[in-house]
Amino acid sequence: MYKVFDVLEIRKDFPILNQTIHGKPLVYFDNAATTQKPQSVIQAISEYYQEFNANIHRGIHTLAEKATAEYEGTREMVRKFINASSTDEIIFTRGTTESINLVAATFGRQQVKAGDEVIITTMEHHSNIVPWQMLCEEKGATLKVIPINDAGEIILEEYEKLLSERTKLVAAVYVSNSLGTINPVKEIIDRAHAFGARVLIDGAQASAHLDINVQELNCDFYAFSSHKLYGPTGIGVLYGKRELLDSMPPYQGGGEMIKEVSFEKTTYNELPYKFEAGTPNIADTVAFKKALEYVNEISKPVAAEYEHELLTYATESLQEINGLRIVGTAKEKISIVSFVVEGVHHQDIGIILDTQGIAVRTGHHCTQPLMQRFGIPGTTRASFAMYNTKEEIDKLVKGLHRVVKMFR
Ligand SMILES: *Cc1c(COP(=O)(O)O)cnc(C)c1O
């Protein structure tokens, strides 16, 4: 449909963008927190409830069959989207956070023992720190952290030094939500495998911007959320290699995840249902497929190229602002610009920009240890999606000039 990338056409697909905030046209630069949804996704949710709402699987009536087919259709779409070899390897969760917790509670509990080590990076989101801390505390294992340089890039030589036979798992973010850094995950994975360690990749930010191929990456687990990928909230994915998922104990117990239950013993369902207890989020899962179709139709590489143009433009224009310093200057970045302005608290920047209709995120972005690494309490973060424009970046720059004037 979109042979040429036409941002004004794309904007028409996102009804929420067409509004004013405090009398100014909305400029939505908080895409790393969650992206807006195209009309097709919004419509799919109400269509589900209006036309084929029914509980999935076990039903033999027509609506249940239709709901099941749509729900499983999303699973196949996700499989293709990340190039997994089988839909058995695609587990639906509530999001990245739940996907990581699932691995910690099953694989982690089973495999990590006292004296073992789990390695993460300095730039992890809290959801890829805390589950491992909890696990290590429970097991008497140790959490190790890969350091980064001042540009916000992982220091691979330091990573190598942390790896040993004690390493059971490496959990690393593909793309930093605070800095935009794209990590060399292939190298991270290969080096971990050389020590027999498994690798989980947090793909929450990467999945909307980069082409994901889990077989080529050869990661053991890959976690991401629909809502950062133009899809609904409340639905996410855990990819896992089949032999690993097979050998892992179940996560939650209940309906759907069982084969047979008696008071003496329960046998578990096969993959992927073993990890999906209870009635899932059917409506949002069905609508998630529309989001993936949307991204495929536009073509991720085409959108990514445009987003990179926005990144370059924003990086250049923001540097003109007196006292502004960009935090995260990695060579490989997606379209995220985090910055601090001398003498102005990020919260004040956020409030003043909001009066201009500009939505940015301020604070630690769920990466407090990363902020500590840079010696700052937080940043202002502008994160761009395929529907943003250079004109909007101009408005941000103008707004920031105003902020600086107010505080100096
Ligand atoms: C958003 C995000 C998460 C958490 O995702 P949820 O959808 O909130 O579960 C984890 N890691 C990164 C890098 C993120 O950007």
Q: Would strands 361-363 and 379-383 be described as parallel, antiparallel, or unpaired?
A: antiparallel
Torsion over CA: 315, 319, 323, 325 (sign): positive
- Residue 96 CA: nearest ligand 1 atom is 9
State how far the Cα of 137 lies from the Cα of 140, in Å rounded to an integer.
5
State how far the Cα of 352 lies from the Cα of 76, in Å rounded to an integer.
44
Instruction: Tell me the CA–centroid distance for residue 210 and ligand 1, in Å.
Output: 16
Torsion over CA: 377, 149, 332, 221 (sign): negative
User: Which of 122, 127, 183, 368 most suits a substitution to test ligand 1, by most atoms within 8 Å of the C-beta?
Assistant: 127
State how far the Cα of 127 lies from the Cα of 266, in Å rounded to an integer.
31
Q: Which amino acid is at 54?
A: A
In short, whether 99's Cβ falls inside 6 Å of ligand 1 is no
Phi, psi of 252 (to 5 degrees): -105, 150
State how far the Cα of 337 lies from the Cα of 382, in Å rounded to an integer.
5
State how far the Cα of 89 lies from the Cα of 237, in Å rounded to an integer.
10
pLDDT for residue 3: 56
The residue nearest atom 2 of ligand 1, judged by CA position, is: 204
pLDDT for residue 58: 81
Best CA proximity match to 214, nearest among 226, 227, 224: 224
Instruction: Tell me the CA–centroid distance for residue 25 and ligand 1, in Å.
Output: 28
State how far the Cα of 388 lies from the Cα of 291, in Å rounded to an integer.
17
In short, whether 171's Cβ falls inside 6 Å of ligand 1 is no
Domains present along the chain, CATH in parentheses = 7-30+299-406 (3.90.1150.10), 43-296 (3.40.640.10)
pLDDT tens track, the chain, 408 positions: 455 789 999 999 999 999 999 999 999 999 999 999 999 999 999 999 999 999 999 889 999 999 999 999 999 999 999 999 999 999 999 999 999 999 999 999 999 999 999 999 999 999 999 999 999 999 999 999 999 999 999 999 999 999 999 999 999 999 999 999 999 999 999 999 999 999 999 999 999 999 999 999 999 999 999 999 999 999 999 999 999 999 999 999 999 999 999 999 999 999 999 999 999 999 999 999 999 999 999 999 999 999 999 999 999 999 999 999 999 999 999 999 999 999 999 999 999 999 999 999 999 999 999 999 999 999 999 999 999 999 999 999 999 999 999 997
- Collect all residues with Cβ–Cβ distance below 8 Å to 19 and sequence separation of at least 6: 25, 26
What is the three-state SS of the chain? CCCCCCHHHHHHCCHHHCCEECCEECEECECCCCCCCCHHHHHHHHHHHHHHCCCCCCCCCHHHHHHHHHHHHHHHHHHHHHCCCCHHHEEEECCHHHHHHHHHHHHHHHHCCCCCEEEEECCCCHHHCHHHHHHHHHHCCEEEEECECCCCCECHHHHHHHCCCCEEEEEEECECCCCCEECCHHHHHHHHHHCCCEEEEECCCHHHCCCCCHHHHCCCEEEEEHHHCCCCCCCEEEEECHHHHHHCCCCCCCCCCEEEECCCCEEECCCCHHHCCCCCCHHHHHHHHHHHHHHHHHCHHHHHHHHHHHHHHHHHHHCCCCCEEEECCCCCECCEEEEEECCECHHHHHHHHHHCCEECEEECCCCHHHHHHHCCCCEEEEECCCCCCHHHHHHHHHHHHHHHHHHC
The residue nearest atom 12 of ligand 1, judged by CA position, is: 204
* Six-digit token string for 349: 């920047």
- For the annotated catalytic residues, the residue numbers are 366
In short, whether 383's Cβ falls inside 6 Å of ligand 1 is no
Torsion over CA: 164, 169, 171, 174 (sign): positive
In short, whether 238's Cβ falls inside 6 Å of ligand 1 is no
Q: How many C-beta atoms lie closer than 10 Å to residue 164's C-beta?
A: 11
State how far the Cα of 357 lies from the Cα of 35, in Å rounded to an integer.
17
Give CA 313 to chain center in angstroms. 24
State how far the Cα of 389 lies from the Cα of 5, in Å rounded to an integer.
12
In short, whether 95's Cβ falls inside 6 Å of ligand 1 is yes
pLDDT for residue 75: 98
The residue nearest atom 14 of ligand 1, judged by CA position, is: 204
